[in-house]
Homo-oligomer: A and B are copies of this chain.
Amino acid sequence: MSQSIASLFQRLTQGVYVIGVADGETTNAFTAAWVMQVSFDPLLLALSINSNHASYAVLSRGRVFSVNVLGKDQLAVAAHFGQPAGARKLATTAWTTGQTGAPLLADAVAWFDCTVTDQHPAGDHVLVVGRVVDGRLLDPDATPLSYRDTGALDGAAALFPATFGNGSR
């Protein structure tokens, strides 16, 4: 790891989201920060996901995902959905589905329901682009959680290379 490169990248401002995926009856959800809007018309979001993640296989087959926005008092929800896929993370959480079948969390600040339009390999992740087919602002008064405020919750500092020049790929 490189503490200084990790510190630098902490200056990029991101939120914290629970990404829901579905392929028929198979569902899963995981915590992510690498989400942003990429187009106004059509309304598109991009998500960068590790293709070794169990949820990526579900997303790739089902071609739908949801983006559930967490609020600043939902650090425990972020930690819960940051667990490995075997933990049956959705079993203890209230959720429903909408147009796409991807899980929509009842207690999110807001959610976006998306169909996959494109996938692009991007280094050790895959950039997934989705069209927002529906969305809901559930708690207008909540302040969204910032990824920076989660500190070392996800251990990401260990994932940065030591220098800019020495990427292994």
Q: How far is the CA of A147 from the CA of B12 in the complex (A)?
A: 11
Query: Which residues of chain B have C-beta atoms less than 8 A from A36's C-beta?
Result: 12, 14, 34-36, 46, 48
User: Is A161 among interface residues, defined by CB-CB distance under 8 A?
Assistant: yes
Chain-B contact segment, one of A18-26, A54-62, A75-83, A118-126: A118-126
Bound Cα distance from A159 to B44, whole angstroms: 13
Other-chain contact of A169, B12, B41, B122 (Cβ < 8 Å): B41
> In the complex, which of the residues B14, B69, B110, B129 contacts A122, with contact meaning CB atoms closer than 8 Å?
B129
- Complex Cα gap A67–B7 (Å): 15
Q: A127 CA to B40 CA in the complex, in Å?
A: 13
Contact A38 B134 (CB under 8 A): no
Report chain B residues within 8 Å CB of A37. Answer: 9, 12, 14, 34, 48
Closest 6 CB pairs of A and B: A39-B123, A13-B15, A42-B167, A38-B48, A40-B159, A11-B110
**A interface residues, Cβ below 8 angstroms from B:** 4-5, 7-9, 11-16, 34-46, 48, 67, 69, 109-110, 112, 118, 120, 122-125, 127, 129, 131-137, 140, 144-148, 156, 159-161, 164-165, 167-169
